[in-house]
C-alpha cells in the first residue's frame, strides 16, 4: 500500500520530452488555449491575438528550433499538460527561459514547480549558471510562483513590440550556481 507522501509524489511526477518539428502546430494550438485564460485579465484580446501570431506562428517556432531554442512538452500521466522553451545557452552561462505554460486545469497543483526542477537539473548539467526570464509585471500569480522557486527580480523592461502594443516586464533570474534552487 502506498503512503500519502508517495502517492502525492507520483501525482506530481512530470517528465520533459522534446517537441518534434512536426508537433509545432500542437504547441501553437496549446498556447491558444492557455493564453486567453492566463492573460485575459491583464492584456486586451487584441494584444493576446497579436502576440500569439507573433510568437507562435508555425514559421516562427520552426526558426526558433533552428536557432537552438529547446522546446519540451511537460508530460504528466502520459498527457501533455504544457510546454517549456529555453536556450540556447549564452556567454557566461546565462540561459533564457522563453516559454513556460501549463494548461489551466493543470495549474496550482505543484506540477509547474516539478517541471521547473526537471528543467533546472538538465540545464545545470549542461553548464548553465543563470536562468533568466521575462514575466509581465501584472502577472502576480506567475511572479509569486517564480519567487517561491528561487527567482529574484533582476531588472524592469518595458519594450515596444509593434502594432501599438508594449511588453511591460520584470526580468527575473535564478542563480543555478548557488545551488539554492
Ligand X SMILES: CC(C)(COP(=O)(O)OP(=O)(O)OC[C@H]1O[C@@H](n2cnc3c(N)ncnc32)[C@H](O)[C@@H]1OP(=O)(O)O)[C@@H](O)C(=O)NCCC(=O)NCCS
Strand-pair category, 94-102 with 79-86: antiparallel
Applying CB under 6 A, the site for ligand X has a residue count of: 19
Please report how the helices 24-39 and 45-56 are oriented relative to each other, as an axis angle in degrees rounded to 10: 160
Q: Which of 56, 73, 83, 145 binds ligand X (CB under 6 A)?
A: 145
Tell me the β-bridge partners of 73.
Answer: 17, 83
Q: Which of 109, 129, 137, 154 binds ligand X (CB under 6 A)?
A: 109
Which part of the chain contacts ligand X (CB under 6 A), choosing from 18-26, 124-132, 133-141, 158-166? 133-141
**Cα distance between residue 11 and residue 22, in whole Å:** 29
Name the residue with cell 494548461. Answer: 103
Which part of the chain contacts ligand X (CB under 6 A), choosing from 13-21, 52-60, 96-104, 154-162? 96-104
In the complex, what is the shortest distance from the CB of residue 162 to ligand X, in angstroms, rounded to a whole number?
A: 20
Complex with ligand X: residue 21 or 144, whichever CB lies closer: 144
Q: Which of 56, 72, 73, 101 binds ligand X (CB under 6 A)?
A: 101
Q: Which of 16, 19, 24, 38 binds ligand X (CB under 6 A)?
A: 38
Cell of 108: 496550482
**Cα distance between residue 112 and residue 98, in whole Å:** 15
Q: Closest Cα partner for 112 from 129, 95, 135, 89?
A: 135
Side-chain-side CA neighbours of 152 within 13 Å: the count stands at 6
Q: Which of 32, 144, 161, 163 binds ligand X (CB under 6 A)?
A: 144
Interaction between residue 18 and ligand X (CB under 6 A): no
Binding site for ligand X (CB under 6 A): 38, 100-102, 107-113, 133, 135, 139, 141-142, 144-145, 148
Amino acid at each position: 500500500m502506498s503512503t500519502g507522501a508517495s502517492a502525492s509524489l507520483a501525482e506530481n511526477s512530470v517528465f520533459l520530452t522534446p517537441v518534434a518539428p512536426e508537433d509545432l502546430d500542437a504547441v501553437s494550438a496549446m498556447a491558444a488555449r492557455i493564453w486567453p485564460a492566463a492573460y485575459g485579465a491583464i492584456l486586451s484580446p487584441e494584444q493576446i491575438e497579436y502576440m500569439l501570431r507573433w510568437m507562435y506562428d508555425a514559421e516562427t517556432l520552426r526558426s526558433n528550433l533552428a536557432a537552438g531554442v529547446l522546446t519540451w512538452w511537460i508530460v504528466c500521466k502520459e498527457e501533455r499538460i504544457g510546454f517549456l522553451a529555453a536556450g540556447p545557452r549564452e556567454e557566461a552561462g546565462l540561459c533564457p527561459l522563453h516559454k513556460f505554460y501549463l494548461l489551466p486545469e493543470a495549474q496550482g497543483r505543484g506540477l509547474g514547480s516539478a517541471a521547473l526542477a526537471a528543467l533546472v537539473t538538465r540545464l545545470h548539467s549542461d553548464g548553465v549558471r543563470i536562468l533568466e526570464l521575462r514575466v509581465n509585471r501584472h502577472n502576480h500569480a506567475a511572479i509569486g510562483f517564480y519567487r517561491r522557486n528561487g527567482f529574484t527580480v533582476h531588472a524592469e523592461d518595458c519594450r515596444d513590440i509593434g502594432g501599438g502594443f508594449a511588453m511591460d516586464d520584470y526580468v527575473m533570474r535564478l542563480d543555478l550556481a548557488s545551488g539554492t534552487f
